[in-house]
Amino acid sequence: MKGLKVMWESRAKSGLTIGLLAGGLWALAIPMAVDDYWLRLLTTSVIYVVVAAGVGLLFSRLGIVSLNQIALMGVGGWIFLRLSYWLDAVPSMLIMCLAGLATMGIGVLIGLPSLRLSGLSLAVVTLMFAAFAEIVFTSIGFPTGNNGWRGEPAPGETSVPIPSPAFAESNTGLWFYVVITTTVMLLLLWVFLTGRWGRAWAAIKQSEPGAVSIGIHVTSSKVTALAVVSFTTGVSGALLAVPTGSLVSQSFSAISSVILFAVVLIGGAFSLVGAVLAGLLFVALPPALEALVARIPVVLELLGPTFTNLIYVAFGIGLIQSLIASPRGIAGDLAGVGVRLRRAQRWPLDPSDAVFAFIVLVVPPLSLALLDLSLAVYVVAAIWISLWLVHPLRTLWPSRSPRGIALIGIAVGLLIGALGFLAGPWVCLLAALLVVVSVNFLRKRLARRLVKMDEELASEGIHAQL
Amino acid sequence: MLNCKDVVVKFGGVRGLDGVSLTFERGISGLVGPNGAGKTTMLNVLSGFVSPSSGRVEFDGLDLLSMNPTGRARWGLRRTFQQEQSVDSLTVWENLLVAAENLGSRPADARQIADLVGLTELDRPVPLLSMLERRLLELGRTIMGRPRILLLDEPVAGLPEAESLMFAPLIERICEEFSLTVVLVDHDMDFVTRACSNIAVLDFGRLIAYGDCVSVLSDPAVEAAYLGVSNES
Ligand SMILES: Nc1ncnc2c1ncn2[C@@H]1O[C@H](COP(=O)(O)OP(=O)(O)O)[C@@H](O)[C@H]1O
Ligand SMILES: [Mg+2]
């Protein structure tokens, strides 16, 4: 018995240790590696990781589609700003917890429909709350350091921001403060997920009658989940207000809650790794994409200033990809890549994976935005083309080894990249299109072979599972 | 003694149960009948998933209908489902643990119950289990804490003959160990007669026979029901 329990706990704990270790290393490395602009951006995305984790928990464990989590974050921020004005002698850590507790109450209250509704109707109700919150935030605004319950400057008065704490003065200090608070919040969620409540949630997700028949109180389990998630979400809203001592209502629009939900599905709702990815995608991808598009004059001319809306298209594509091909999101597929790497029999990337889509869709814009090198454009193009080629090439020559195919793909990719570097971007683009399209065309003609191979892969997958 | 009196269940205009009065003594009793006879509905009434429109259900004088389903489970009224309900996203051990935690049992007891039903390698995820193991796990989950009544809805459905044979002695052992009142639902007469002393037969929501195996099996109404002929004609 004891051995069994130890084994279980050690397995869960080793995942935690690896996560903490890797997270710690990243947390130390990032302030050294990026400039101030990106550090602030990444700080914000870390704050959103907690909100994403909450959205993922509600959806993956209880099937609750909650489209009001950003609004709830705004509630936490609002309460935090007001409390820090009234309780200016109290440490901000404590005020954040108080704001979290107050948000918990409101979150449970507005979550009550989830006890009776489910699916689409519940989603619509939560969205309604998000819209309501947006209206309230826009009309009463966020408090500043002025008097009155709304904390708004009276006519003739100037608005005073809440003074931010000393650690928030430097970007690096703020980064570590946010990383540590976020880690504590994620640990809190982890404790619930892997403990008694997490198991009860899993049973409810599987089947409510089944859960009831082993004595689980469905209502109190759901309320507990809502409470924990609302608390952490409220704290992260407070965290968002810490650096500048103020908030703007535009950050808490209803649409952003919807987008966050989509991004959580893309990143992976079932794991905390997925939440980290979702936070990153939600905050850092839009500016990265903008920075990339701003470098391509044609797109700018074509779309004008509305090109920033491209991010919605990107998230839409990502959502479709994850709904069709990878219900466990990038995080789930990353685990799959790990398995394939260990087995070392297959090319570890597959175009049906979210990981593949992530590398192809996200890495190029991110790296282009980060590295200001024209050569980098072509290196990234080369990687991109190679990745797109590997799968079609494999179906053309199923007998070849995966590594050989990968080498061919990389060689073609590099060739086109070099061509682009020498002859200009248009040549590169045309060549890439030509090669990818023609290989895919040939592949279509070998559809029958493809079907056979997919069957083989499927049976291989089944054996792997058994 | 589990006592049902004039239980009526209406689904719209259809009567799922039509005034059933029955007494299950301590030990294993069978509840049989052709498909759609109302066996599952009867278990749903007993466990609280369906409220009868009239009638009483008592156990040793205690009114069961006044408790909600979770309350009944915690009190000791346990059931399995026709469609087995183990949690796929958890391991075997966690499945036992989650039942133990909510039915007032300790992890050490969960371990003993795993031994009792014969489950090994508890760290496996549930999707890797065989059908037999899933059924054993489900049975194990129902006897955590302090069980008093056990309702089994077709516990051997989908199992091959050889495996379902070993189920009857296991149920007998569990029944004895916890001195339970067991209601065993199945449409397979052979299996039920092997495990039970008393058998109740339902057809179209009515009780058409009740008694020991021999008399029930020779009852012409039962024969008619099992041949698919209505007992009124
Ligand atoms: N929730 C329900 N709504 C409507 N009709 C139902 C419901 N549950 C069962 N019934 C009907 O009640 C009758 C008895 O069903 P059931 O108890 O499941 O039979 P079985 O003896 O096969 O377990 C069937 O005719 C079935 O269609
Ligand atoms: Mg049935």
- Residue A122: is its pLDDT beyond 90? no
In the prediction, which pLDDT does A378 show? 67
pLDDT > 60? residue A462: no
Query: A203 and B98: CB-CB below 8 Å?
Result: yes
Helices vs strands, H then E, count in chain B: 10, 10
A214/B144 touch (CB, cutoff 8 Å), yes or no: yes
H/E stretch holding B17? strand B14-24
pLDDT tens-digit map of A268-277: 888 888 898 8
User: Shortest Cα distance from A450 to chain B (angstroms)?
Assistant: 29
Is the distance from the beta carbon of residue B41 to the nearest atom of ligand 1 less than 6 Å? yes
The SS3 assignment for A272 reads: helix
* Cα angle value A362/A387/A342 (rounded, 5°): 95
B37 C-beta closer than 6 A to ligand 1:
yes
Distance CA A424, CA A418 (A): 10
**Higher pLDDT among residues A362 and A205, named by residue:** A205
The percentage of chain A sitting over the pLDDT mark of 70, rounded to a whole number, equals: 74
Question: Which whole number is the average pLDDT over B12-26?
Answer: 89
Residue A204 has pLDDT above 90, yes or no: yes
Q: Where are the domains of chain A?
A: 34-272, 319-465
Considering chain A, what is the average pLDDT of its residues? 79
Which segment of A160-174, A192-206, B38-52, B84-98 scores lowest on mean pLDDT? Answer: A160-174
Q: Which of the four pLDDT bands, split at 50, 70 and 90, describes residue A240? A: very high
ipTM: 0.91
Q: What is the pLDDT of residues A371-385, one digit of tens each?
A: 555 566 666 667 767
pLDDT (mean) for A58-69: 91
Q: Which residues of B touch A4 (CB under 8 A)?
A: 93, 111, 122-123
pLDDT at residue A381 in the model? 67
Q: Annotate A77-130 with three-state secondary structure.
A: HHHHHHHHHHCCCCCHHHHHHHHHHHHHHHHHHHHHHHHCCCHHHHHHHHHHHH
- Decide: B40 in ligand 1 pocket, CB within 6 A: yes
What is the arithmetic mean of pLDDT over B182-204? 86
Contact yes or no for A215 and B103 at CB 8 A: yes
Average pLDDT of the segment spanning A298-302 = 68
User: What confidence tier does A118 reach under pLDDT thresholds 50, 70, 90?
Assistant: confident
DSSP letter assigned to residue B201: E
Average pLDDT of chain B to the nearest whole number: 88
Angle between helices B92-102 and A196-206 (to 10 degrees): 100
Judge contact between A266 and A330, C-beta under 8 A: yes
Q: Is A346 on the interface with B (CB under 8 A)?
A: no
- Note which residues in 90-109 of chain B have CB less than 8 A from chain A: 90-91, 93-94, 97-99, 101-104, 107-108
Domains and CATH numbers, chain B: 1-76+151-233 (3.40.50.300), 82-146 (no CATH)
Cβ of B121 under 8 Å from any chain A Cβ?
A: no
Distance from C-alpha of A435 to C-alpha of B209, rounded to nearest angstrom: 77
Ligand 1 atom 19 nearest Cα: B36
Contact A214 B73 (CB under 8 A): yes
Residue of chain A whose alpha carbon sits nearest to that of B89 = A202
Please report the pLDDT score of residue A374 as a whole number. 56
Tell me which of B79 and A25 has the higher pLDDT. Answer: B79
Residue whose CA lies nearest to ligand 1 atom number 25: B36
Q: How far is the CA of B41 from the centre of ligand 1 (A)?
A: 6
**CB distance from B162 to chain A under 8 Å?**
no
B63 touches chain A (CB under 8 A): no
User: Which amino acid residue places its CA nearest to atom 12 of ligand 1?
Assistant: B16
Nearest to A406 by CA among A349, A330, A333, A332: A349
CB B230 less than 6 A from any atom of ligand 1: no
- Which residue of B70, B92, B111 to mutate against A (max A Cβ within 10 Å)? B70
Distance from CA of B98 to the nearest CA of A (A): 6
